[in-house]
Chain A
Amino acid sequence: DVVLTQSPATLSVTPGERISLSCRASESVDTYLHWYQQKPNESPRLLIKYASQSISGIPSRFSGSGSGTDFTLSINGVELEDLSIYYCQQGNSLPFTFGSGTKLEIK
């Protein structure tokens, strides 16, 4: 199974900052890498598909990059509503594994 390692586990941020979250795959997943946001007591929400493609209705401050084994989710100007847990998921090979998440909290 493909193992996705997300770092850092927790990130303390100041509103307005530009931040980057990392997701590293144990083997190449090409660009079959998706990012999700999960707020407390809510279902996850798809943020970015295929590493860098935007999703309708998601604010433009969210962007993704990478291919192969190294991926980044960036938030350009963090807002308070972005305090959540972010997960990556690979869709290249079965089973479609998830990372363990990065939690954003206020500094």
Chain B
Amino acid sequence: QVQLKESGPGLVQPSETLSLTCTVSGFSLTSYSVSWVRQPSGKGPEWMGRMWYDGDTAYNSALKSRLSISRDTSKNQVFLKMNSLQTDDTGTYYCTRDVAGSSDWGQGVMVTVSS
């Protein structure tokens, strides 16, 4: 059974760095790509970036200067780090397994950027 679970702090101070972890089970990170998608409350999703199955990465150009995605295949984890957070980075952050589009989603983690 494919599962993805996001974890990380619910509250981040403005200008600080967000660190999130996606822990997966039921599939191998060396066989499937994983994306990060975020969604501000009441708005549509935004694709942030992807960790390809071969270890390569791709980023949304709008976030590329602030975003880094990495992985630890031995722990079945994919990591997101984004710096210089502002209030408009508030929202729910999801990791997804990509087969055709985002075929499987985690439950999401709500992140609030506030002092």
Query: Taking beta carbons and an 8 Å cutoff, which residues of A are in contact with B?
Result: 1, 34, 36, 43-46, 49-50, 53, 55, 87, 89, 91, 94-101
Contacts and interface: CB of A to CB of B under 8 A. Distances in A.
Contacts of B108: 43
Contact of A94 (B45, B58, B94, B106): B58
Interface of B: 35, 43-47, 50, 58-62, 94, 100-108
Contact of B94 (A1, A43, A46, A91): A43
B79 to A, nearest CB: 19
A45 B58 CA distance: 23
22 contacts: A34-B101, A34-B102, A36-B102, A43-B105, A43-B108, A44-B45, A44-B102, A44-B105, A46-B100, A46-B104, A55-B103, A89-B45, A89-B47, A91-B101, A94-B60, A95-B61, A96-B35, A96-B50, A98-B44, A98-B45, A98-B47, A99-B44
Given A49-B100, A94-B58, 13 more contacts: A1-B61, A36-B102, A43-B94, A45-B105, A46-B100, A46-B104, A87-B45, A89-B47, A94-B61, A95-B59, A95-B61, A95-B62, A96-B35
Nearest to A89: B101
Contact of A46 (B58, B59, B62, B101): B101
A68 B48 CA distance: 24
Contacts of B103: 46, 49, 55
B44 A95 contact: no
Contacts of B46: 98
Contacts of B60: 94-95
A5 to B, nearest CB: 12
A92 B48 CA distance: 15
B100 A43 contact: no
A49 B47 CA distance: 17
Contacts of B101: 34, 36, 46, 49, 89, 91
Contact of B44 (A34, A49, A100): A100
